[in-house]
Amino acid sequence: YQEASGEIHALETGLSSDPPMNWRLSKLDRYVLVSNSDSHSPWPWRLGREANLFEMEEPTYELLVDSIRTKDRSILKGTIEVNPAYGKYHWTGHRNCTFSVPPERAVELNNLCPVCHRRLTKGVEQRVLELSDRPQGFVPEDAIPYKYLLPLSEIVAAVTGSSSLYASSVQEIYRRLIPSLGDEFEVLLSSSKDSIVSLVGSDMAEAILEVRNGKADVIPGYDGVYGQPVFSTMRKPKIGREDDRDEAVLD
C-alpha cells in the first residue's frame, strides 16, 4: 500500500493464525489484531466463528473505529479465535504419506518426508518460526486478550462422529440447544452444564465445557487436511502424526 500503509491500523488474524503467532513478529506491534468469520457461507449459523468483543454504553461506528485505531482496551475487550491448529496447513507434512510434524521437527528433517523422501508442504507454524524475532510465548504489554472457541456445529459433529456439519443428525442436536438456551455464544460461553445435559446429554455437555475452558485437544491440520478436535468423551482420531508411525519407517 506504499504511502497509504500508515492508514492501516488493524490486522486480521484469520483462521490460520492467532494472536500469539502474530506477537512473535515485532514489526506488527503497531497494529491491533482483530478476528472475523467468513461471510460467504449460505448458512447463517456459520457467521461468528471468529469475532471481536466490544463494550460500549451506546454503540456507535465512531467509537468502534476509534477503539481499533487507538487500541482502547476499555472498549475493545478481546477477540474470539478458532485455534489455528484446526487450519488445513498448520503443521508441516505430506497428505499422501499421512505424515505431519511440528516446525522444529521439520527443520531437523531438513523439510524432507521420511516416507517418500520428497519435500514436505511447509506449515503456517513453521513459516512463523522463520519470520519471528521473538520466542514462543512472548506477550506484548498492551496485548488485547483472546479466547479460543469452536463453532457449536463442529463440536456436535466431532462428538457424534459425523463427517458433515450439515447432516440432519448434527442440525437436530444444534436446534435442541438453540434457541432453547439462547444464541450460540451463550451456549458456548455461559450456559450451565446441567441445562446443556438436560437437552443433549452429558457427553455433548462435557465437550462444550472443554472448549469453553480451553481443555480440548487438537490434532493439527497439515497439507490440506483439517485439524481434528479431541474430547475426553470420544476416541482419539488418528491422522498423520509422527508419533503414530512405525519407528522403522522414520529411520
Q: Which residues of the chain have pLDDT under 70?
A: 39, 235-251
Report which secondary-structure segment, H or E, holds 93: strand 92-94
SS (H, E, C) 21-32: HHHCCHHHCCCE
Residue 43 pLDDT: 74
Closest CA to 199 of 233, 166, 179, 173: 173
Farthest CA pair distance, the chain? 64
Residue 163 pLDDT: 86
Burial 218-249 (b: 16+ CB within 10 A, else e): bbbbbbebbbbbbbeebeeeebbbbeebeeee
How many CA within 13 A on the CB side of residue 1? Answer: 6
Question: What angle, 0 to 180 degrees and rounded to 10, lies between the N-to-C axes of helices 168-177 and 193-200?
Answer: 140
Q: Whose grid coordinates read 512405525?
A: 246
Q: Is the peptide bond before 179 cis (omega within 30 degrees of 0)?
A: yes
| 51 three-state secondary structure | strand
Give φ, ψ of 59 to 5 degrees: -60, 130
Any bridge partners for residue 119, and if so which? 112
pLDDT digit string (tens) for 39-94? 677 777 777 889 999 999 999 999 999 999 999 999 999 999 999 999 999 999 99
Give the Cα separation of 43 and 98 in Å (integer). 31
Strand order in the sheet with 51-54: 51-54, 76-81, 146-148
| 216 three-state secondary structure | coil
Give the Cα separation of 245 and 99 in Å (integer). 8
Closest CA to 51 of 26, 87, 32, 78: 78
Residue 251 pLDDT: 29
Residue 38 pLDDT: 72
